[in-house]
Amino acid sequence: MSHNNQKKIAVINDFCGFGRCSIAVALPIISKMKVHCCPLPTSIFSNHTGFPSFYYEDFTSHMPNYIDEWKKLQLSFSGISTGFLGSVDQINIVTDFISNFKNKETIVVIDPVMGDYGKPYPTYTAEMCQGMKELVKYADIVTPNVTEACIVTDTAYRRDFTKNDIILLAKKISSIGPKKIVITGIPQKSYIGNLVYEEGKEPRIVKNRKVGTERSGTGDIFSAIIAADAVNGVPFVDSVEKASHFVKKCITRSIELDIPVTDGVCFEEVLDSLK
């Protein structure tokens, strides 16, 4: 009996019990879009690191045995989606996973979660940044913010990047391997823009009016929609527009319900609107 009669996406990320981020967000989003979400946890959190305290368990040592069971089941995946990776070992495990499970139909979506505001996250060493650059070569689609696009391309970060500068970043990433890139979170006065770059097509910026403040999980929602749409054959620019509008809708509803910023976005309230 085959276990591969439905589209599946392997989501490689941490699991967070409270705070609405990572796998806990991607699973319901991808499922709503009629794709079977298969989580591969990298670590387990009681709640995310934005809270004053949290319980944390590193899952790295368990990942190879977990993956071996999937090999026994002869699983194949329409998509593979990766998020935050916490060590060089995890990056190497994910690289091996892609090598073992990617076939000619599999779409690899990598969110190179490495930093923001011009700097890598404190946990990201130079070795890890180099490892992520290597991992990006395996991607069909990447979803970096401006800081991460700079790290991947060895470009000095500036606050005054023009549209042409951002397009050049996307072209540099594309030359590494990925043919579809969306560079997210580009500030444009009262708007937030996402640059959509697709090989052979005119780059364009999809923008939405800025609402509220940054919340955990919005990037995970965005990437989950991009991954599910990719395996469902939705045009890339349409997918970016959908993901951008849905994230804005989630933030707006969270503000209406006075949801604490630490608690992420109450996407459950608007999930029915996602197609």
Please tell me the predicted confidence (pLDDT) of residue 213. 80
Which residues neighbour 94 within 8 Å (Cβ) at sequence distance 6 or greater?
A: 12, 82, 85, 135
| Domains, in order of start, for the chain | 8-259 (3.40.1190.20)
Q: Are strands 180-188 and 191-198 parallel, antiparallel or unpaired?
A: antiparallel
State the burial class of residue 76 (Cβ atoms within 10 Å of its Cβ: 0-12, 13-18, 19+).
Answer: middle
Per-residue pLDDT of the chain (275 residues; tens, 9 = 90+): 899 999 999 999 999 999 999 999 999 999 999 999 999 999 999 999 999 999 999 999 999 999 999 999 999 999 999 999 999 999 999 999 999 999 999 999 999 999 999 999 988 999 999 999 999 999 999 999 999 999 999 999 998 999 999 999 999 999 999 999 999 999 888 889 999 999 989 999 999 888 888 899 999 999 999 999 999 999 999 999 999 999 999 999 999 999 999 999 999 999 999 98
Report the pLDDT value the prediction gives residue 218, as an integer from 0 to 100.
94
Taking the C-alpha atoms of residue 221 and residue 190, their distance in angstroms, rounded to an integer, is: 22
Q: How far is CA 251 from CA 34, 62, 132, 261, 262, in A?
A: 23, 35, 29, 10, 12
Using DSSP's 3-state secondary structure scheme, residue 218 falls into: helix
The pLDDT value recorded for residue 107 is 98
Q: Please count the other Cβ atoms lying within 10 Å of the Cβ belonging to residue 220.
A: 27
Q: Are 218 and 250 in contact (CB under 8 A)?
A: yes
Rounded to a whole number of angstroms, the CA Rg of the chain reads 18
Question: Residue 231 has which token pair?
Answer: 């395996």
Sheet with 180-188: list strands edge to edge: 56-58, 36-45, 8-16, 79-82, 107-110, 141-142, 180-188, 191-198, 204-209
Tokens of 21: 């981020």
3-class DSSP state of 41: strand
Alpha helices in the chain (DSSP H): 23-32, 63-72, 88-101, 126-136, 146-153, 163-176, 218-231, 236-256
